[in-house]
Structure 1
């Protein structure tokens, strides 16, 4: 091949090179370099087949070439560790993605975990044609030669932009676009300019909006009818052009070159090990990598590249569902471009009558076998193909009748779809869309309207001021041209965990692999076998994203089990999440146990989160062993915490666990006794600091007091000292009004402050004009005090009533939003107390309100002591005590009285004590005497 062969090619590159080269020397280097790249790739003994990802032209050219050449070995640019999964593609409905997944990153930064690499595969792709040919043709070997998933992350430091869409017009993430999650995407043929100015230049002069439209118009359509040599040279030309005009990012350049060295090293090793003739092999790679200049390029390249060993990360592999929207979102393609490519693929097959390769038994296609045996292969030794570029680039495209009929059909169909969605479209609009599409194509120097021209014409002619339905015209066009196709992984290709879930939910008689929401009704009273299904569903709710398993009726709490449940299930929609569970274990019980342990022993674990894992282990796994282990971990975390941020959650969960163990277990577990004992001492120690700490909220301090007061009896029985709490209260000196009120309530509970003194302090605050603005904050403290001291509900009602009666409007009205917020944040525990107490205190009828007097303002009635019948010598109540000497002796012994019974007048050993306190004995006697 000489320079004269590519004279036409040089002319076409002249304008781009002049615009983007940095001088005459660079211009000459770019021109000669592009020719050298094409020449080098074409002359390589191992045939290089350049492709572009999800390109119907590449898929069509691949199907043709495979039937002509029938290679014995197909080298494919795909992660080499994904090879065992490819045979499972026949059990799936495309598009799907081959995934490598690692829960823990061993040898990588911990913040990268979990690690995930996906390679999406569609039917309209060259890689699928190569896979289907190799797997269904006897005697053909498929070899994946690209870097492994582990090496993808080994080189991640040098490739910080991996997996990020580079298109600013990329579609927004939605439910379908999120099918790949945050995985790093790998694909064959990422063919796109990496020079922003070059892409902008091509889009502007091509009169298109985004890169996908440019590629469809200027590459996809012309190559659809080209022969193999023309297709190959054009793709090599584009790959070399984009590579030589790419910016010199050292990180990305090094990753690209390392991938090429990696692939050629693998291919040479395979050729040497198997003795395969390079003429019987085919190397399928992206056009960007086909035009490589590394020293390891080719069968006769150098062997200086050393492949680094894999890390210690344990990788799991599987198939996950994909979709056109997910592919577009992950690789920065325009919305609808993959659907348009699928429609173009079907159109090319119908026009050219090329028989594509499909895996035998492929879901969603007819069962058929490859017919590669019927075709005769080309001779092994082929002459270098002549220049086909000049004639191809000079050939004007023609708008044939088939395209006109297609455009007319589109125009009629979009009007029909618009009517169904509320648009006032008519036959005249169909004609207008048809003519406008041709007009727009002519204005953009296009030989025939593309789907993008048709889409713009439909929006112009049909969509007026508003969108009457949920979908606009642009979305209707995307749906009409194919829409978003979502793949599905078949039952046989699922991991063991996912198959086990489907088997255990089989009694529900639902199509669980079907997308969408399905309603499941469980009546465990009449069908006890459904209890196992209920257990599985509650665990799935805990493990899968929101919406995969959502309970409508029924709940699962400690000590409670529903006899009827209703669920909305969308396991088919969330199939990817269910499959990824299979990478973590062989059963959902194992995965749940691992996650609970990971949460409890994680570096960010708090006491509240560990107690939550204890509750989940008890609810879902019914494992006393695991609950005790995690409870011991909660005790360790509590002892190391120095803040009270999680005190409300700790209090709520400990109360629930205590109530459960007391009603369902013969004795409390050892860990919870130790937890209460340690927590009592721990919160007593932190209490004085928390009262004055600005970072601790009033709700958190109230939760600490709630723990101390509600667990006090158990803690004291376990050996705790109440003096520690009294000392902590004495050392607490808050300055904020709400914390001060909280301390007063706590002292009332301890008995160091009487109700009368507390009422007097509040009255003093209301009588002090300087303290009135702060009085609402005192009330907020009393409201929070209902958590540790619920017996103060009547006093809080009294305090709030006095505030409404006596506070001036400038103080009262701004406080009302704070009152509502406090009651709302207090949850369901505080508000019912106030409502119930207010209902008891206030009159039930409006007519009684005028004569109603608050109980706290009513005069206390004198207490009349009713004498007992008969004469009693000594304090009233002695006959009762004399009738029950055993009880009196026990009390006397506890009080340290050593006196015995008198012989003349029988009296208990505690008579002297009663004599010193006659009023108590008289009140007790009057209460117990009969009238």
Structure 2
């Protein structure tokens, strides 16, 4: 390479021209002159650098074509690539994939970053029509060539972002702005990952971009770049390409707004890359002449002191954090790249088509990785043998920029055959999608494309001109199908090509999933939905596949594994199942599972623990984790551990927000363990005891809490009443519940009705009293407007007290029967909306009870009398119990015959005598217990054998007593018989 003096002289003419232009435009030297001359200085500095800099724009066919040409000419021994340095080990796996794919760095657990940022993800999409892929393919398939990634690591991407104080999604300057019209449906292929690409060449100065689009007569930036950069540079030589890209990068850099954080990140990246390259050169002793530095044109026009092989070594690279990063390849797509990097919809597909056309036109042999899906084997052989045929390296080129800028654009000749083919193809595609297109429309599209190109000062219509013409001539006023004409043009130009990661490049977990699902006999790596039928009765080996599918349904996004027939609940297993599987479509999600563990069981256990031990986890969340551990893993150990943790979470809760979910899950777990195990797990017994005491404590507060809903309070009562039997058997005290209900004093009507239901359940309020209160509510004109809320409370009360269903039906029926239409109709909508929103799951119980009470036939309705209005039937046994029974005169016999009574008492050993007047008479039970011998004697006298004193030897003769006192015996027999 020649000295700097020749380069300075080479660009002196350009400097003079720009000075004259600045003076004529601005009327004298000013900031414009500084900007224009500074751009020339940037180009001069980059061209004179001993280590050749190759500026590129990401996903640009012109850059890829120039890269392929330069690699064959120069044959560098070391290729420095602007890509995260920690992604290097994955690049060899690209040969096992079908492009486009993205290299991903993923961190689920962060250490050194804010916890709310997790998970962290950085992706670098790669397409075949990109300069980075050409450099990677050349370096990996050419013996003796070393590929060195020199950009900041994935860890530093977020380190520097934290210093800037922005969110992770805005961390990288390469992420770009949202795409104009980019479809959001495909963006999840990259998700919320930070995008890293080589060469973000979009103006950061909004006014500049608007000026370029307006004067270029184009709609968006992708069209401007295609028209004014891609097409002119497509056939340009290496020197012209480099100097033009340097100039564009310098222009956009000098006209960027003063975003301090973004400028700092850009300059730190440049310092980082040049520091890494100098370290490698010093360690290996490589000659800079044998190296090639591939970076974005924006970073090529750098002004940092560390720029160049002779730059300052003043930048210190900070150590990485303790965050553990996982690496892998994920599928990408043209739409995902457009959405992430702010490109127009269809621009990457059009670029892919332009890349294919440029290869055919220029006969340039591109580089492809050996074994790459879709690559030709002959191409790899030509790549390896290309070194011997390379001409010697030319000396640095002089100023080619002046001539390029002064040269008027050469209009492309109209390719009528190509445009005619486009017109015919779009009409054919439109007819297949429901449009009434004809040959006349094809002619109209052809002519309109030429007309639009002429209006925009270009002789050859671009794909964007053709797209506008097709929309104008075919779409008319409506879209009959799922796709509009603009989308049909994008598909025709190449479509949204979606990549695929090969089996060998998948992480161990993904390969394990495919292996375990192999008995299904499906091609699960293909995109689209496939139906899987599992008959476990005839093929027991499919039970293992069913377990895998249920875990995938729990772990992966909706649609990856969707059950059509069959279910899995606690204690239930389906004999036959049917599934819709789309694992190929959701391959990225499956790959990211591999970052978390080596098997589905391990990942599921980790996630359940993370959900249960999350600081924001509620009792319902932990119980859900317990249920999933039992349902999907069958792990008693994990279920017991999480269940014990649920006790701690429940004891720490001070609200009742999760009471309905807690009640539902505890009931399900109780029912499962009662039917499947001989005894309940200890944690469930402890949970019932703790929950009983906990909800009794919170009940009075919940009745008055405005934030607690009536459904939540009803769920608390449901837990207390439904678990009462088990809780009392485990040592709980029912008095605690009674006191809690007694201390509850709600003000809101629905909660008041709920409290009445609880009192009925506890026995402190009778059902008759409850009916009376409901009647009083209907009789009070001031309460009638709020009567629907009382009914809502009664309906919610069916959760803790389902036996009140008949009372609720009676309350609703009385309202409809007694209230006039003028009162009933205004609050009827409120009643319906209240019941529908707050008690939809309890309505079936109410409906069943109404169906039991009301007549089943319409003609029986007129003669039907509600049960609560039927007259009370007399008790047939009441009169009989009130009639005096002859001979029942025991109380009168004793005072009427005092001598006889004394004789019997003396005979029986009763010596206490008659009680004083007014003293209470001793009860029969007390007399019997006080004189067991006398009781036994009377029993024997009356023929009742046995007794409690036979063992003591007390056995007076009943026959002798009857002979000596016949009247007394008859009187006692009559007295005791009547009693």
TM-score clears 0.5? yes
Q: Structure 1 residue 351 and structure 2 residue 361: aligned?
A: yes
Listed as ranges, the gaps of 5+ residues in structure 2 are 1-6, 889-924, 949-979
Matches within 5 A, 1:272-287: 272-287=282-297
The CA deviation string for residues 767-802 of structure 1, in whole angstroms up to 9 with x for no partner, is 222221122211111000000000001111111111
CA RMSD across the alignment: 2.6
Contact 2:200 2:298 in 1 (8 A): yes
CA–CA distance in structure 2, aligned partners of residues 353 and 452 of structure 1: 25
CA–CA distance in structure 1, aligned partners of residues 224 and 526 of structure 2: 37
Q: Structure 1 residue 445 and structure 2 residue 436: aligned?
A: no
Matches within 5 A, 1:324-403: 324-368=334-378, 369-372=380-383, 373-376=385-388, 382-398=394-410, 403=415
Report the counterpart of residue 482 of structure 1 in structure 2. Answer: 494
Deviation at 1:172, TM superposition (A): 4.4
Q: Structure 1 residue 536 and structure 2 residue 548: aligned?
A: yes
The CA deviation string for residues 525-548 of structure 1, in whole angstroms up to 9 with x for no partner, is 111111111111111111111111
CA–CA distance in structure 1, aligned partners of residues 854 and 420 of structure 2: 78
The CA deviation string for residues 112-139 of structure 1, in whole angstroms up to 9 with x for no partner, is 0000000000000000000001111111
Report the counterpart of residue 742 of structure 2 in structure 1. Answer: 730
**Structure 2 CA distance for partners of 1:557 and 1:899, relative to 1, 3 Å:** farther
CA–CA distance in structure 2, aligned partners of residues 81 and 754 of structure 1: 75
CA–CA distance in structure 2, aligned partners of residues 132 and 897 of structure 1: 108
Report the counterpart of residue 33 of structure 1 in structure 2. Answer: 38
Matches within 5 A, 1:588-603: 588-603=600-615
**Secondary structure of residue in 1 paired with 2:568:** coil
Report the counterpart of residue 421 of structure 1 in structure 2. Answer: 433
Q: Structure 1 residue 44 and structure 2 residue 56: aligned?
A: no
CA–CA distance in structure 2, aligned partners of residues 13 and 427 of structure 1: 56
**Structure 2 CA distance for partners of 1:223 and 1:429, relative to 1, 3 Å:** same
CA–CA distance in structure 1, aligned partners of residues 930 and 565 of structure 2: 64
Report the counterpart of residue 317 of structure 1 in structure 2. Answer: 327
Report the counterpart of residue 752 of structure 2 in structure 1. Answer: 740
Report the counterpart of residue 714 of structure 1 in structure 2. Answer: 726
- Between stretches 678-687 and 824-833, larger displacement belongs to 824-833
Report the counterpart of residue 761 of structure 1 in structure 2. Answer: 773
CA–CA distance in structure 1, aligned partners of residues 847 and 502 of structure 2: 56
Report the counterpart of residue 925 of structure 1 in structure 2. Answer: none
**Structure 2 CA distance for partners of 1:268 and 1:898, relative to 1, 3 Å:** farther
Select 2:108's aligned residue among 95, 103, 108.
103
- Between stretches 94-103 and 514-523, larger displacement belongs to 514-523
Q: Structure 1 residue 2 and structure 2 residue 1: aligned?
A: no
**Secondary structure of residue in 2 paired with 1:155:** helix
CA–CA distance in structure 2, aligned partners of residues 599 and 43 of structure 1: 58
Select 2:149's aligned residue among 132, 144, 149.
144
CA–CA distance in structure 2, aligned partners of residues 437 and 704 of structure 1: 71
Contact 1:10 1:31 in 2 (8 A): no
Q: Structure 1 residue 434 and structure 2 residue 446: aligned?
A: yes
Select 2:89's aligned residue among 80, 84, 88.
84
Report the counterpart of residue 408 of structure 1 in structure 2. Answer: 420
The CA deviation string for residues 72-116 of structure 1, in whole angstroms up to 9 with x for no partner, is 111000000000000000111100000000001110011100000
CA–CA distance in structure 2, aligned partners of residues 223 and 681 of structure 1: 79
Deviation at 1:365, TM superposition (A): 2.7
Report the counterpart of residue 889 of structure 1 in structure 2. Answer: none
**Structure 2 CA distance for partners of 1:14 and 1:677, relative to 1, 3 Å:** farther
Q: Structure 1 residue 233 and structure 2 residue 238: aligned?
A: no
CA–CA distance in structure 1, aligned partners of residues 395 and 887 of structure 2: 135
Deviation at 1:820, TM superposition (A): 3.5
CA–CA distance in structure 2, aligned partners of residues 745 and 721 of structure 1: 21
Select 2:75's aligned residue among 70, 94, 97.
70
Q: Structure 1 residue 677 and structure 2 residue 686: aligned?
A: no
**Structure 2 CA distance for partners of 1:234 and 1:667, relative to 1, 3 Å:** same
Contact 2:346 2:496 in 1 (8 A): yes
Deviation at 1:393, TM superposition (A): 3.5
CA–CA distance in structure 1, aligned partners of residues 16 and 859 of structure 2: 101
Q: Structure 1 residue 204 and structure 2 residue 214: aligned?
A: yes
Report the counterpart of residue 162 of structure 1 in structure 2. Answer: 171
CA–CA distance in structure 1, aligned partners of residues 931 and 419 of structure 2: 114
The CA deviation string for residues 361-394 of structure 1, in whole angstroms up to 9 with x for no partner, is 1013333425243344768875221122233334
Deviation at 1:826, TM superposition (A): 5.7
Contact 2:102 2:124 in 1 (8 A): yes
Report the counterpart of residue 273 of structure 2 in structure 1. Answer: 263
Contact 2:246 2:297 in 1 (8 A): yes
Contact 1:170 1:328 in 2 (8 A): no
Q: Structure 1 residue 128 and structure 2 residue 137: aligned?
A: no
Deviation at 1:704, TM superposition (A): 0.4
CA–CA distance in structure 2, aligned partners of residues 227 and 320 of structure 1: 35
Contact 2:570 2:631 in 1 (8 A): yes
Report the counterpart of residue 818 of structure 2 in structure 1. Answer: 806
The CA deviation string for residues 489-528 of structure 1, in whole angstroms up to 9 with x for no partner, is 1111110111111111111111111111111111111111
Deviation at 1:824, TM superposition (A): 3.8
Structure of higher CA gyration radius: 2
**Structure 2 CA distance for partners of 1:669 and 1:537, relative to 1, 3 Å:** same
**Structure 2 CA distance for partners of 1:54 and 1:169, relative to 1, 3 Å:** closer
Q: Structure 1 residue 252 and structure 2 residue 257: aligned?
A: no
The CA deviation string for residues 333-385 of structure 1, in whole angstroms up to 9 with x for no partner, is 11111011000000000101111111111013333425243344768875221
Report the counterpart of residue 510 of structure 2 in structure 1. Answer: 498
Contact 1:195 1:246 in 2 (8 A): yes
Q: TM-score, normalised by structure 1?
A: 0.92
Deviation at 1:819, TM superposition (A): 3.6
- Between stretches 706-715 and 799-808, larger displacement belongs to 799-808
Contact 1:162 1:185 in 2 (8 A): no
CA–CA distance in structure 2, aligned partners of residues 196 and 374 of structure 1: 45
CA–CA distance in structure 1, aligned partners of residues 401 and 557 of structure 2: 52
Deviation at 1:12, TM superposition (A): 7.1
CA–CA distance in structure 2, aligned partners of residues 872 and 699 of structure 1: 60
The CA deviation string for residues 875-909 of structure 1, in whole angstroms up to 9 with x for no partner, is xxxxxxxxxxxxxxxxxx9xx99998964465999
**Structure 2 CA distance for partners of 1:370 and 1:121, relative to 1, 3 Å:** farther
Contact 1:133 1:370 in 2 (8 A): no
**Secondary structure of residue in 2 paired with 1:285:** strand
Contact 2:527 2:585 in 1 (8 A): yes
Contact 1:38 1:237 in 2 (8 A): yes
CA–CA distance in structure 1, aligned partners of residues 559 and 83 of structure 2: 34
Matches within 5 A, 1:738-887: 738-825=750-837, 829-865=841-877
Deviation at 1:641, TM superposition (A): 0.4
Report the counterpart of residue 560 of structure 1 in structure 2. Answer: 572
Listed as ranges, the gaps of 5+ residues in structure 1 are 875-892, 911-931
CA–CA distance in structure 1, aligned partners of residues 886 and 589 of structure 2: 83
CA–CA distance in structure 2, aligned partners of residues 305 and 843 of structure 1: 90
CA–CA distance in structure 1, aligned partners of residues 226 and 13 of structure 2: 26
Q: TM-score, normalised by structure 2?
A: 0.87
**Structure 2 CA distance for partners of 1:837 and 1:348, relative to 1, 3 Å:** same
Deviation at 1:177, TM superposition (A): 2.3
Q: Structure 1 residue 113 and structure 2 residue 125: aligned?
A: no
**Structure 2 CA distance for partners of 1:16 and 1:132, relative to 1, 3 Å:** farther
CA–CA distance in structure 2, aligned partners of residues 459 and 18 of structure 1: 43
CA–CA distance in structure 1, aligned partners of residues 543 and 839 of structure 2: 32
**Secondary structure of residue in 2 paired with 1:123:** coil
**Secondary structure of residue in 1 paired with 2:415:** helix
CA–CA distance in structure 2, aligned partners of residues 381 and 491 of structure 1: 41
Matches within 5 A, 1:178-217: 178-217=188-227
**Secondary structure of residue in 1 paired with 2:148:** strand
**Structure 2 CA distance for partners of 1:783 and 1:909, relative to 1, 3 Å:** farther
Contact 2:182 2:335 in 1 (8 A): no
